[in-house]
């Protein structure tokens, strides 16, 4: 069970879960192509302990139409053979039901572009690459909100986008397994990152969030990263298509 010698592209590698994933993969021996939007230093810090010959950085604003295809071109220009793609980058603008129409429309459009449309294009590029090169792995970061809907009505677009990403990934798993293309979904609960501040504020503070969690704590991003490293190893091929919940029993199916 190892990722040593593999090349992994991680989107959103400069903050939160993505930074933890990039660091864990690099620490486990993988070569990491770290995507970032504007915060390059975060990606650099996440991979500070990884030898320079196993690290590359690619900048891309996924809010722009067609950006994911450019990201893929830049990635394969650095490493012609990519073995794993981790689709992690996401945004969560509020889309309140009782807000103004322009806020609703803009929030949905931004969320779908960054969380669904560009990731779908990236996955499409990756699948073509994998099929032509003997296989590969797609790992998508969904959310427990994508499985059960969001408890916060102002995050409707975010929940919908994470459900769409899950369906996209499972479709890849079902249709390209015979090409040795494996696809997994990781669905975290409330993870201890900057984004968890949205949940905390909406619920009345961190203490209110911790009170609804069976373990009494948010998910450490390092635990999500450990799951991704395991999946990236390709050890359990028959897990392809599965959704791995990482929420401390806060949502049990």
Residues labelled as active-site residues: 158
| Residue 186 CA: distances (Å) to CA of 54, 57, 73, 166 | 25, 24, 26, 9
> Running DSSP on this structure, what letter comes out for residue 117?
I
| Residue 26 CA: distances (Å) to CA of 15, 30, 41, 186, 229 | 15, 5, 16, 19, 10
Q: Which of 233, 227, 25, 243 is nearest to 142 (CA)?
A: 243
The H-or-E segment that residue 201 falls in is: helix 196-203
Q: Which of 147, 112, 234, 143 is nearest to 183 (CA)?
A: 234
> Angle at the Cα of 176 (from 172 to 180), degrees rounded to 5?
120
Cα–Cα dist 67/61, whole Å: 6
Tokens of 246: 């990482």
């Amino acid at each position: 069970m190892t990722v040593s010698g593999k090349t992994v592209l991680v989107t959103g590698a400069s903050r939160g879960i993505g930074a933890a994933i990039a660091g864990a993969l690099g620490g486990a021996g993988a070569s990491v192509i770290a995507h970032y939007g504007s915060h390059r230093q975060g990606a650099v810090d996440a991979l500070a302990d990884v030898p320079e010959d196993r690290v590359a950085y690619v900048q891309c604003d996924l809010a722009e139409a067609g950006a994911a295809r450019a990201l893929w071109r830049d990635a394969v220009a650095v490493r012609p053979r990519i073995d794993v793609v981790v689709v992690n980058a996401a945004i969560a603008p509020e889309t309140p039901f009782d807000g103004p129409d322009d806020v609703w429309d803009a929030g949905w459009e931004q969320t779908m572009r960054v969380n669904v449309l560009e990731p779908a294009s990236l996955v499409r590029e990756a699948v073509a690459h994998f099929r032509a090169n003997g296989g590969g792995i797609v790992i998508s970061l969904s959310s427990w909100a994508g499985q059960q809907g969001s408890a916060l009505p102002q995050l409707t677009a975010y929940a919908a986008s994470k459900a769409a990403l899950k369906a996209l990934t499972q479709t890849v798993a079902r249709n390209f397994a015979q090409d040795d293309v494996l696809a997994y979904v990781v669905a975290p609960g409330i993870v201890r990152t900057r984004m968890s501040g949205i949940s905390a504020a909406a619920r009345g503070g961190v203490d209110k969030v911790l009170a609804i969690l069976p373990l009494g704590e948010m998910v450490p991003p390092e635990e999500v990263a450990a799951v991704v490293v395991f999946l990236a190893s390709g050890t359990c091929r028959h897990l392809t298509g599965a959704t791995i919940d990482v929420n401390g029993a806060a949502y049990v199916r």
